[in-house]
Amino acid sequence: MKMFLISDNVDTYTGMRLAGVEGVVVHREEELREKLEEVCRDSSIGIVLLTEKFGRDFPELVNEVKMSHRLPLFVEIPDRHGTGRSKNFITDYVNQAIGLKL
């Protein structure tokens, strides 16, 4: 199985291409929806990398696809601007998940 990148910018796409990961650059929700449907039909793709911006801009679409497909695995990655997460995102995540203040 192979990885596939769906990016919102050319820099992330170029970096992943240099690492041997195929992908596309999309900007609009319709383009993203089409590409997500396409990769879900391709049984050779095991992991889909999505830049975090898609999760922020189109959370309903991204979550819908993640929850309705067992494969491929969808992973959100930071783009060239870095992560959109807070500095303490792991601690905050644990606090939300188990209700334990660390």
Per-residue model confidence as pLDDT tens digits over 49-87:
999 888 888 889 988 988 888 889 998 888 766 566 666
Q: Give the mean pLDDT of the chain.
A: 84
For residue 50, the domain's CATH number is: 3.40.50.10580
Range of the domain at 29: 2-98
DSSP codes, 9-66: SHHHHHHHHHTT-EEEE--SHHHHHHHHHHHHH-TTEEEEEEEHHHHHH-HHHHHHHH
Question: pLDDT > 90: what percent of the chain?
Answer: 45
- Residue 1 confidence (pLDDT): 83
- Residue 91 confidence (pLDDT): 64
* Domains of the chain: total: 1
- Residue 59 confidence (pLDDT): 87
